[in-house]
Amino acid sequence: MRIPICRPLIPPLRSADFHRGWLYAFLGAAVVLPSFPVAVLAAAAVPTGFRAAAFVAVLAVLTAAFGSLRLTRRASVRLANRLLGTDLPAPGGGSTGRARTALWLFLHTAVGCASTAVAGFALMTAVMLPAVWLRGGERVTVLVPVEVAGGPQGLWTLPVSGALLLAACHIGAAAAALLRRLAPPLLGHRPDERLAALEEQTRLLAQRNRLAQELHDSIGHTMTASTIQAALARELMDSDPAAARRALTGLEEASRAALDDLDHVLGILRDGRAPTAPQFGLTDLHALLERVRSTGMDLSADITGDLTRVPATISREAYRIVQEGLTNALKHAAGTRVELRVTAGPGSLDIEITNPYTGRSRRRRGHGLTGIAERVALLRGESSAGPSPDGTCWRLGARIPLRSAS
């Protein structure tokens, strides 16, 4: 025969969340064990009338001291997320929340000790009452004197014992529910930590966007150059095998470099680590120009000024601007003469790429030109892209102030 009142009480006992919550409450009682001997010794050193107060005071002080450690908060957050099912963020590096962590640890200990003591008492009573009844009955004291009769008169001990067993189990669940409600205000982020976490997330998103833009520039340039080199090698395969082999060699080198870039960027995005490998700058322009010329492009370059004195940030971004500009020229101006001018002046860095423009194929403003505009704007510079006023050439220009790097 099933008792209807037990239906909502028994099924939760089989859930994993129930057992994890009970374990977390029990761990609160275990936290006090290392401090227990010290509290006992301190209580023994004071007069008899003050020993209980001294015992509690020493336990509270030691618990607060332990809670002030940064490691304690990190461990508390991880344990609460694992056993209580909370979704607390990891503690910020700039703020440890010592007072709140100490209060949390004290409450966790108090709730754990109380729930363990009450549950233990309920279990002991649940076992003791049927045992006394089976022995024939006698008068026992359970907080108050209780007369347990033998025979049929003592059958009441069985449902009472079952109720006490259920109560002992659900006491831990109640303690876990209380701690689950207290965890966010005590272990969660304060406003300053939430702001720091938001800033860190914004920084990571900006870094990922920058890496995505660099990956677009690098892979886009390589794919365009590789396509042209493959077509050139096919045309020269019979008439000039040596030139075809050179084109295929250039294609292989460009593809290998693109794979290295892809592996590097994807590794950063997967691991969330900061990029450590050296990045290309203006001093690497000559290698880039040679790769572009290997595709058959008629490219002239006029590079003036000391590129080594350009700040590193501007140098890296300027390299990507030139790379993307030449990639656009490969796409839309194949077979024409392309002119590149890079001037590192005392106050600004000027970049200009021009090629003949007939107007037969208008260029859409795709990701490449948008990326160039974003890079230049981030460096407080100015950029432009479009046909010249007389309509004879396409011009991509950028001016970046060198003082913006300071």
* Closest residue by Cα to residue 327 from 227, 398, 225: 225
Q: Quick one: pLDDT at residue 404?
A: 46
pLDDT higher than threshold 90 for residue 302:
yes
Judged on CB neighbours under 10 Å (0-12, 13-18, 19+), 237 is middle
Q: Quick one: pLDDT at residue 362?
A: 47
Q: Quick one: pLDDT at residue 29?
A: 80
Q: Residue 142, SS3? A: strand
Judged on CB neighbours under 10 Å (0-12, 13-18, 19+), 352 is middle
Q: Do the Cβ atoms of 61 and 105 come closer than 8 Å? A: no
pLDDT higher than threshold 60 for residue 5:
no
b/e for 164-196, b at 16 or more Cβ within 10 A?
bbbbbbbbbbebbeebbebbeebbbbeeebeeb
**What is the arithmetic mean of pLDDT over 277-286?**
77
Judged on CB neighbours under 10 Å (0-12, 13-18, 19+), 53 is exposed
Helix (H), strand (E), coil (C) string for 355-369: EECCCCCCCCCCHHH
Q: Quick one: pLDDT at residue 303?
A: 92
Least confident of 71-80, 165-174, 358-367: 358-367
Quote the CA–CA distance of 323 and 225 in Å, as a whole number: 11
**What is the arithmetic mean of pLDDT over 318-323?**
88
Alpha carbon distances (Å) from 33 to 26, 102, 121, 258: 12, 17, 19, 59
Q: Quick one: pLDDT at residue 206?
A: 65
Q: Quick one: pLDDT at residue 406?
A: 40
pLDDT higher than threshold 60 for residue 157:
yes
In this structure, the number of other CB atoms found within 10 A of the CB of residue 125 comes to: 20
Question: In degrees rounded to 5, what are phi and psi of residue 22?
Answer: -65, -40
Which residue do the tokens 């423009």 mark? 357
Question: In degrees rounded to 5, what are phi and psi of residue 370?
Answer: -65, -40
pLDDT higher than threshold 60 for residue 339:
yes
Which residue do the tokens 């990701």 mark? 367
Q: What percent of the chain has pLDDT over 90?
A: 6
Q: Quick one: pLDDT at residue 269?
A: 59
pLDDT higher than threshold 90 for residue 350:
yes
Domains of the chain by range and CATH? 4-189 (no CATH), 191-277 (1.20.5), 279-406 (3.30.565.10)
384-405 pLDDT tens trace: 988 888 878 889 999 999 864 4
246-261 pLDDT tens trace: 777 766 666 666 666 6
Using left for φ > 0, alpha for ψ between -120 and 50, and beta otherwise, residue 359 falls in left
Least confident of 44-58, 106-120, 248-262, 286-300: 248-262
